[in-house]
Structure 1
Amino acid sequence: MRVRLLGPVELTADQHPLDLGGPRQRVALAVLGLNVNRVTSVDHLIDAIWGEAPPPTARAQIQVCISSLRKRFGEAGRPDAIKTRSPGYVLELDSSEVDSLEFGELVAVAQQDAEAGRTAAAAATLRTALGLWRGPALDGVTSDLLRHEATVLNDRRLTVLEERFRLDLLLGRHEEANAELPALIGVHPLRERLYGLLMVALYRSGRQAEALEVFQRARALLVEEIGIEPGPELCELEHAILNRSPALDLAPVDLAAPEPETRVTPRQLPTTIGDFTGRDGLLDEIRRLVGAEAGLAVPIVAISGRGGVGKSALAIHAAHELGQHFPDGHLYVDLHAPESDDRTPALLARFLRALGVPATSVPDGAEERAELYRSRLADKRVLLVLDGVRDEAQVWPLLPGSPTCAVIATSRSRLSGVPGALCLDVGVFSPDGGLELLGRIIGADRVQAEPEAAAELVALCDGLPLALRIAGARLASRAHWRIDGLVRRLRDEQRRLDELSHRGLEIRSNIGLTYQALPSVAQRLFRLFSLVQAPDSPAWVAAALLDVDLATAEDILDALVEAQAMETVQYPDSPHPRYRFHELIRAYAREQLLDVESTVDRDAALARMLGGWMALAEEAHRREYGGDYTVIHGTAARWRLPAEVSAEIIGTPMTWWDSERHALVAAVRQAAEAGMDELCWDLALTSVTLFEAKGYFDDWRETACHALGASSEAGNRTGTAAAQYSLGTLHMFQTRTAEAANCFRAALMLFEAVGNMHGQALVLRNAAHVDGIRGDNEAMLAKYDEALEIMPLVGDRIGEAHIQRSLAGWWLGQGQTTRARGLLEQALSISRQEHCLRVEAQVLHRFAELHVAVERFDLAREALHRVLRIVRNIGDQIGEAYAVYGLGVVRQREGRLDAAATTMAHALDLSRRLGERLVEARSRYALGEIALLRADFMLASTHLQAARTLFAALGSTVWLDRTLGLLDEVEVGVPS
């Protein structure tokens, strides 16, 4: 059995390829094969197969791929080769069972033979290694993620081939080289080392002129193709051939004998911190991988996290703990430091000198330095710590080739492009972890003396170790300071970064390193995103802030997340990530916003973002009601996404509204603070659709008050009327009839003054309902009639249906079922024509009351079950409470008292949780009535007393009289 990656990806049994199935199985096998004996995460497999656009069923399809591969391995006699290991799978095989691993082992053996002077053996081993190749690595596998791995393998093959030619020349096999090299140069025409090898082969074959002609061809091609002259090695070789240098007869590549080397054991690790704490789980992971017995691949740990989170401290501490496992030395480089600007050749030279290679023997070329570096580390146990890596490109050339070595790298970006690396994300401290660190710095007694202040200090520092160290150092240097004194200073967001500075340590410069490394467009989004006051935001907010399309904004957001300047939040009920700042980063971004962006640009970005919320809320309301019904809108500018994008974002309107509730409330608040009164009242009023259905009365009150304040201050009479109407409707829902009537009176006067007929009709509709609760039927009917005349004039068909439903309820109470039925049929027809499920449910609920009145309980149940399906699907919890209460009434009228009591108890629970006091009062009344029928006078009294209190507070005189009548019956029934 064999996994073959050096050519077309194959799994063979008895040297015959097995049928792997589709391309996904080939990609999965390639990924597992490149990470043999290392865990490959499911996410990594998904990225390899689908890239940036995986289907929703990606994880399930990965399971199918793995199951299929397991069957093939079973056919090959290794059914247990693929094992499940969190967070993915591991392919457990010997190096002899994977051609790429066997290739690497053969090359390592050849290197040892060459260093020991066993040239013929080394050349023979390399021929065997190269014989494993059947074509380009991973041939036939289409995966963006695997393209880099294939390139690395193919480059390695070419390097080994060049080394084989070098050894052949040392063995005098010039003619063979003359025959093979021209064709190879034709495939790789920019590879200077191949030209050099051919020149030496031709010269040693007595063909000096042809050797010089090869140099001229190489020079002409390099100048024409990429505009550069040949490198110094090729030029020196031409000069040596021209002068028939004797050195060419002895050492055609190494023109000078190396100086004697000194055996040294580098110990370059910085000191670890004495109060290191809080990373036990991460340390265990590092110990597990790095401290294990040498396997087939170099153990690599890639530690990532935002600036100041303690990545370097963790890496250095872990390296010290594991130091005894690496007796041949510890190499360390700080890539944050200024000298990290030296590119790979300089770093390789540093490491070579640290490993005992004399400076004069360090090769000039980066490739030769890398080869010598890997050769020096072969079979040695050396630990390499790369601190502050920028990206994967910095890591690749510095990786040892020997699995006896190990690498620990830290980076603000996740180094997921390093195959086989164990990626560890370092987060901020938990509250307990932060308190432990603070206690180690300032003493546990001070923390215990002010526990609340210490906990707040940890929160204000975002749990960030660097921030906690700075705050702790300030407290430690001032024994007379109380913790709450520093907390008071840190509460001021504008001063927070100034306070988090102490004797060369500061947060501002640390965050600044991340900010300065960002592309300019990402820097601008970083600044503008500080305008967002919501806890987190969807990606489209970034598009609005920058005024770009969504795909562009997502790319820029990904750059910020990759740089650890921002983090994502994934909620279980949403397929899309959300984005947010940590508070300290937000404070820095706010500073940059005020320093860099003009007031005009800041205001324009804010207006686009809030206009985006307005556009989406407006569209969600339209989809919920079938149009701009039962609402009025203002003239504030909208920032609109393409229609198909908006539709995807909104999805189910009520679900979208609910998920964005906090952001919508923040947007209303922010519009009020910015003096955007027109947008403020419009967004607040449109959001009532959510607050009403879900019973979010606190949010409703807050947003309506913001709208009222902003509109009143700006002299915006339409906005003031809309806010008064919204507050009146809130009071109406909470059955505070006096407050509701006052608000509606003020709103109606303002709407009449500005000539807004639609606003007048909406106010009249709800004011009529309040009159009905208070028993003023004459006023109620007059207002309903007036509103019903206006609604067709302003085109509000759903408003018509609302009023028809309400009037039907009145006539039903008067026993005029025929008249009620006619109104309800009209209302139902409108709601269905406009595809407004919410109002259809309300009309069907009233139909159920009609069916109960004529004792058609079967039809009533059918209607209420339809209502329940609708309100639960659209997320209308208030509607659900009314529907459940209605079912309880039906069961009570049918005489099914047990079922009725259970249903009414459910309605009571729902109404109390939602603050829906009318349903609560009526459910109490019904439960009291049922208890009275069962002669349970104590329970009846409890429910009816509660109902009396509620009806009195609601001003519902009819229901109050009914309740008092039942209480009299209870008094009669209770034994004296």
Structure 2
Amino acid sequence: MLLRLLGPVELGSDNRSVNLGGTRQRIVLAVLALNTNRIVPVNQLIDAVWSTEPPSTARSQIQICISALRRLFDEVGRPDAISTRPPGYLLQLDPADVDSLRFAALTADARRQADAGAKAQAAETLRTALALWRGKALSGIPSEPVQRAATVLNDQWLAAVEERIQLDLDLGCHQEVTGELQGLVGEHPLRERLHTFLMLALYRCGRRADALEAARQARKVLAEELGLDPSEELHRLTRAILQRDPTLGATDEQPTPVARPADPKWAPPQPRTPAVVLPRQLPASITDFVGREPQLDQIRRLLAREPDGDQTLQGMPIVVISGMGGVGKSSLAIRTAHELSDHYSDGQLYADLRSWDRQDHTAELLARFLRALGLTGSAIPDGIEERSKLYRSMLSGKRLLLVLDDVPPDLQVLPLLPGSSSCAVVITSRLRLTGLPGARQVALDVFDLAQSLEMLTTLVGPDRVAASQQDASELAKLCGGLPLALRIAGARLVSRPHWRLGGLVHRLRDEAKRLDEFTHHGLELRSNIELAYRALDGVGQRLLRLCSLLRAPDFPSWTAAALLDSSVIEAEDILESLVDAQLVDIVQYPDASPRYRLHDLIRVYAAEKLGEVETERERVVALARVLSGWLALAEEAHRSDYGGNYTTLHGTATRWTMDPADVAEHVGDPADWWEAERRALVVAVRQSADAGLVELCWDLALTAVSLFESKGYFDDWRECATTAYAAAERAGNRVGMAAMRYSLGTLHMFQTRLAEADVCFATALEIFAEEGVEHGSGLVLRNAAHIDGLRGDTGSMLAKYARSLEIMRRVGDRIGEAHIMRSLARHRMDEGDHGGAIELLDQALVICRETGCLRVEAQVMHRFAEVYLATDQIELARQPIYRALRIVRATGDRIGETHALYGLGILRHREGRPDNASMILTHTLNRSRRLGERLIEARCRYSLGEIALATGRISGGMEHLRAACDLFEHLGSTVWYERANSLLADADLLTAHPDPTVAPAAS
């Protein structure tokens, strides 16, 4: 299959899937795939991606997606798969290359076979069709049109399952389908046909009482869920079971022959006379083997052909154990081979291949194996082909286990494999060796903390570990969960019983000397890593060295291109070679592109090599490229959020940029990108400060505020701003200092720490004025005016807004202008000028839609709803508040969603739905407390108190109002404090005079 829709969408060939990129790209591919060999209009693609609210750039973004998809099809050998055909695009593929089309063809074939009376063949054809499914169709594609199509495909799956079960029942396979039917009935309780199948299968299994209970359950479900009586068919079947109607077919008390032939099963050979030569070449198994019991059990069951093992395996079993150097591949292979020694009674062949890497070594290995099997001298032919044929002939019918340990990438493995299905093979390699036909892959990862501590305890003794548990945990972490590192550390401690665990921990903390500590009596970690490093080509070695510069916990593939200063495609291929060599790990997050990381000890080794090979200048330049690449992508994400370089400042640092199509692919949905890169961005700010890249540092810290303010990541915000400020101050970079004071002031403003915000804004405004950075002054004045408004200082607020608005228009910051108009609209509302407020909001909305800035559009729509609620236009308020909610949820704006939910709660209250309003406001209160959004927390308290008083819950209402008063007073919000205090006073009056004619005043 080339294109797979029956499950998560995948594109690939030769057992390899390509990275499909961001959400938009996957939606476009899904729509094209659903219409394979049919022209898809551009408008249909736009509707699938954006529904009813496409941006003005929708067509160009679709074109970018199509270009990226063409490159992906080129990767899998179909460069001409997508063509432009007015009014859209055409995806041309053979039906056999698309699993949904292959499924449809197979189910049609099965129906023709069934109609012709070939029921057993039809059932097998349906099994082949159903085996194409890997889960729910088109899962993970967030598009309503695509999911409607997925529903149709999923229904077709269920219909095919029902048809196959009907055929199995016709063939007398009731025992085989009973368990499956019970699961299907539980999953699809409203499919009456499944209920009848289950009843009939149970009856034929001799379980008449269970069949009648299944009928009762079916009637109950249909009545409770649909309010319907069962069909006449179910009634007839129930009566027939009660009467033991012979037309139902024989039960298992009178067995019916099974028409469908059983699948061929492997059976061990009959006992035989042992061979004259029984090779026993396995090394000794370690006695302190720990931590791999699940993998050991999996391999043992597979190779022993146990009944509950892998019954899909045909032919000779081959297991490939892969993982990084030192992860315990050899220990697991040898332990497994020893446990299976009785099962493979004709012996075991073993070869340690870590230093064997050429074709002539394959011939030498074959000669060694032939000698182990009893041949000598001239009886061993020349050449790989002749030796391999003789080797396979000698092993024919034997029960022998072959272990090839630490297979290098260039070794010819196929000539070494026996040809008899009675043999078995275990291979260990740093590579996955996916080219071996029929091989089962077992990938080993490093130990977690619990497994690491178990191994340390086994090695050095429980008393010693228990006496120093904290040091033991740190030692396990410094070993990175790598079994070889743990074994070396344990061996050193055992050889020095007077050492404390803390002493070794202290030695290992020094990263520059850490690998020196991992050596003991022939065990050495550095040489183990060195083996994999030397197998790389020159550019692969260079990339590994440069990857040690990255301090982020994981990183995307484009960073390899920045480190090498190459194209993304070239760098990704080199990066994947490091993955194949088990020197770089893949980190897969749900619904996201794969990311990469270095194991801590690999990074230490790579850093050593970096210091030996690259100059200081080369290291700084490479690091600057990758950090400035994060800045370039952050700028792009900010532009996507705000429709341009609005509401922020940028410095003069050089950007490392990619091809625009690569930028579009990697950024994708900005909300997803910000979230995926959050930890990396924080580390990048820290690294740029440490490297003295000050201009880049403050620019990146300020640009990342787009993420921090929408998601409520206030700790990250504070760390980035303070780090960048300190770096700018050390370097005397006054613009950077002002930008970070502005950023910190905005953070204080968001957290309603008004005094701290005042100090920051005053410093920032002073420096921006001295340095002539007019845009910076405008941004500071805008936020300072907001603080004045919270305090009720209307005169100062209006003066600052006027100055800021003038600057925003002069420098072309349209979203900054829209922000101020929205804020001034609130002032007009408070003054009773609702028409003036609507006029300002109309202007702000035009700007938002012209620039495509959804984030600020949501804020403007929220303010529209406030104006309509203030004028009792409840119907008009609904649409803008719903629109605001849709936007903030689509863009992942958690702070914006909290504000919008608060607005929805107020709307419900004004609609006369106090219970619903209380539920929404309580939920919003909890969200605001988690996010630190204290002003919304206070307003929720106020509104909940107001609703409680209005519904007669006086004590609860007063509790909310007291909390609101405390919060408003602490926040310095005088206007809202006076409102809450006044309502609390009315509630006190109501408590003192419980006269129904005395009620609290409405707010």
- Partners of 1:296 and 1:931 in 2: how far apart? 71
Matching residue of 2:320? 302
Could you say which residue in structure 2 is the equivalent of 1:279?
292
Residue 705 of structure 2, aligned match among 649, 668, 688: 688
Q: Which of 1 and 2 has higher RCO (CA within 8 Å, sep 6+)?
A: 2
Look up the match of 2:369: 351
Q: Name the SS for the 1:637 alignment partner.
A: coil
Deviations 1:432-466 (A, max 9, x none): 22222111111122222333332222222121111
- For residue 963 of structure 1, what is the aligned residue in structure 2? 980
User: Is 1:517 the equivalent of 2:535?
Assistant: yes
Kindly state the Cα deviation for residue 967 of structure 1 after the two structures are TM-superposed.
2.2
Q: Relative to structure 1, is the Cα distance of residues 571 and 419 closer, same or farther in structure 2, using a 3 angstrom cutoff?
A: same
Q: Match of 1:583?
A: 600
SS at match of 2:466: helix
Partner of residue 618, structure 1:
635
Is the deviation greater in 49-58 or in 433-442?
A: 49-58
Report the CA distance between 1:62 and its aligned residue: 4.1
1:613 & 1:428 partners in 2: Cα distance? 30
Change (3 A) 1:612 1:404: same
Deviation at 1:61, TM superposition (A): 5.0
Alignment-derived partner of residue 952 in structure 2: 935
Question: What letter corresponds to residue 390 of structure 2 in structure 1?
Answer: L
Tell me the CA shift for residue 393 of structure 1: 4.7
Of residues 581, 587, 590 in structure 2, which corresponds to 1:563? Answer: 581
Report the AA paired with residue 409 of structure 1. Answer: I
- 2:909 maps to 892
Deviations 1:442-494 (A, max 9, x none): 11222223333322222221211111101111111122222233223323322
Query: What is residue 302 of structure 2 aligned with on the other side?
Result: 289
Mapped contact 1:392–1:417 kept (Cα < 8 A): no
Contact 1:808 1:819 in 2 (8 A): yes
Shift of 1:869: 0.9
Structure 2 residues not aligned, in runs of 5+: 21-25, 35-96, 134-274, 994-1003
* Conserved? CA contact 2:698–2:739, under 8 Å: yes
Shift in alpha-carbon separation, 1:675–1:307, aligned structure 2, 3 A: same
Letter in 2 for 1:757: E
The within-5 A match list for 1:33-52 is 47-48=13-14, 52=18
The 3-state SS of whatever aligns with 2:14 is helix
**Aligned counterpart in structure 2 of residue 432 of structure 1, from 424, 427, 450:** 450
2:305 maps to a residue whose letter is A
Is 1:698 the counterpart of 2:711? The answer is: no
- Return the alpha-carbon distance in structure 2 between the equivalents of residues 480 and 514 of structure 1: 35
Call closer, same or farther: CA 1:82–1:559 in 2, change over 3 Å: farther
TM-score where L is the length of structure 1: 0.75
Q: Could you tell me how far apart the structure 2 residues matched to 1:884 and 1:280 are?
A: 50
Moved more, 876-885 or 712-721: 876-885
CA distance in 1, matches of 2:910, 2:285: 78
Match of 1:648 in 2: 665
Q: CA 1:72 to 1:889, structure 2 compared with 1: closer, same or farther past 3 Å?
A: closer
Tell me the SS of whatever aligns to 1:409: strand
Paired with 1:298 and 1:69, the residues of 2 have a C-alpha distance of 30
**Maintained 8 Å contact 1:335/1:389:** yes
1:947 to 964, 971, 976: 964
Deviates more, 1:952-961 or 1:388-397: 388-397
Structure 2: which amino acid aligns with 1:794?
A: V
* Displacement of 1:267: 1.2
Supply the distance in 1 between the matched residues of 2:340 and 2:124 (Cα, whole angstroms): 30
Supply the AA of the counterpart residue of 1:384: L
Give matches, 1:169-318, under 5 Å.
Answer: 263-292=276-305, 297-318=315-336
CA-CA distance at 1:80 after TM superposition? 5.8
SS in 2 for 1:812: helix
What does residue range 488-567 of structure 1 map to in structure 2 within 5 Å?
488-567=506-585
Give CA-to-partner distance per residue, 1:64-95, whole Å, 9 cap, x none: 6467558768947445658989x9789xxxxx
**In 2, Cα distance between equivalents of 1:970 and 1:495:** 70
State the AA in 2 paired with 1:461: C
Q: Which residue of 2 aligns with 1:829?
A: 846
Q: Secondary structure at the match of 1:850?
A: helix
- Give SS of 1:278's match: coil
Cα distance in 2 between the residues matched to 1:365 and 1:44: 43
Q: How far does residue 338 in structure 1 lie from its aligned partner after superposition?
A: 6.4
Task: Give the aligned partner of residue 453 of structure 1.
Answer: 471
Aligned pairs (5 A) from 1:858-897: 858-897=875-914
1:144-159 mapped onto 2 (5 Å cutoff): none
Matched, 1:796 2:828: no
Q: Deviations over 1:154-199 (max 9, x none)?
A: xxxxxxxxxxxxxxxxxxxxxxxxxxxxxxxxxxxxxxxxxxxxxx
CA 380–893 in structure 1, closer or farther in 2 if over 3 Å, else same: closer
Matches within 5 A, 1:666-677: 666-677=683-694
Letter in 2 for 1:583: D
Matches of 1:70 and 1:503, distance apart in 2:
64
Deviation at 1:520, TM superposition (A): 0.9
Tell me whether 627-636 or 452-461 shows the greater mean CA deviation: 452-461
Tell me, yes or no, if the aligned pair for 2:106 and 2:126 is still in contact at 8 Å. no
Tell me if the contact between 1:541 and 1:609 (Cα under 8 Å) persists in the aligned partners.
yes
Seen in structure 2, the aligned counterparts of structure 1 residues 899 and 286 have a Cα distance that, compared at 3 Å, is closer
What per-residue deviation string (whole Å, max 9, x for no partner) do you get for residues 716-736 of structure 1?
Answer: 111111000000111111111
Q: Which residue identity lines up with residue 396 of structure 1 in the other structure?
A: L
Give the aligned residue type for 2:14: A
- What amino acid does structure 2 have at the position aligned with 1:725? Y
Equivalent positions of 1:837-856 (< 5 A) are 837-856=854-873
Q: Is the 8 A contact 1:798 1:831 kept in 2?
A: yes
* Contact 1:362–1:369 (CA under 8 A) maintained in structure 2: yes
- 2:123, 2:410 → 1: CA distance? 33
Alpha-carbon distance in 2 for matches of 1:808, 1:770: 16
RMSD (CA atoms): 2.8
The residue identity in structure 1 corresponding to 2:394 is R
Kept in 2, the 8 Å contact 1:737–1:774? The answer is: no
Task: Report how far residue 341 of structure 1 moved.
Answer: 8.3
For residues 504 and 615 of structure 1, the distance between their equivalents in structure 2, rounded to whole angstroms, comes to 48
In 2, the alpha carbon distance for the partners of 1:45 and 1:818 equals 55
CA 89–838 in structure 1, closer or farther in 2 if over 3 Å, else same: closer
Q: Does the alignment pair 1:785 with 2:751?
A: no
Worse-superposed segment, 263-272 or 699-708: 263-272
The SS at the match of 1:407 is: strand
Counterpart in the other structure of 1:486: 504
AA paired with 2:483?
A: P
CA distance in 1, matches of 2:978, 2:798: 22
Q: Is the 8 A contact 2:447 2:481 kept in 1?
A: yes
- In 1, the alpha carbon distance for the partners of 2:949 and 2:507 equals 63
Comparing 644-653 with 483-492, which one deviates more in the overlay?
483-492
Maintained 8 Å contact 1:42/1:88: no
Query: What is the one-letter code of the residue matched to 2:297?
Result: D
| Aligned partners of 2:628 and 2:656 also within 8 Å | yes
Structure 1 vs Structure 2: percent identity of aligned residues?
55
Contact 1:42–1:89 (CA<8 Å) still a contact in 2?
A: no
Deviates more, 1:467-476 or 1:890-899: 890-899
State the shift of 1:849 in Å: 1.4
Return the alpha-carbon distance in structure 1 between the equivalents of residues 965 and 549 of structure 2.
50
- Equivalent pairs, count: 768
Deviates more, 1:609-618 or 1:480-489: 480-489
Using the alignment, how far apart are the partners of 1:835 and 1:447 within structure 2?
Answer: 60
1:726 to 732, 743, 757: 743
Conserved? CA contact 1:315–1:410, under 8 Å = yes
1:420 matched to which residue of 2? 438
Q: What is the correspondence of 1:764-783 to structure 2 with a 5 Å cutoff?
A: 764-783=781-800
Report if aligned partners of 1:442, 1:472 keep a CA contact under 8 Å in 2: yes
Aligned to 1:379: 397
Aligned-pair CA distance for 1:650:
1.3
Does the aligned pair in 1 maintain the 2:356–2:408 contact within 8 Å?
no
SS in 1 for 2:397: coil
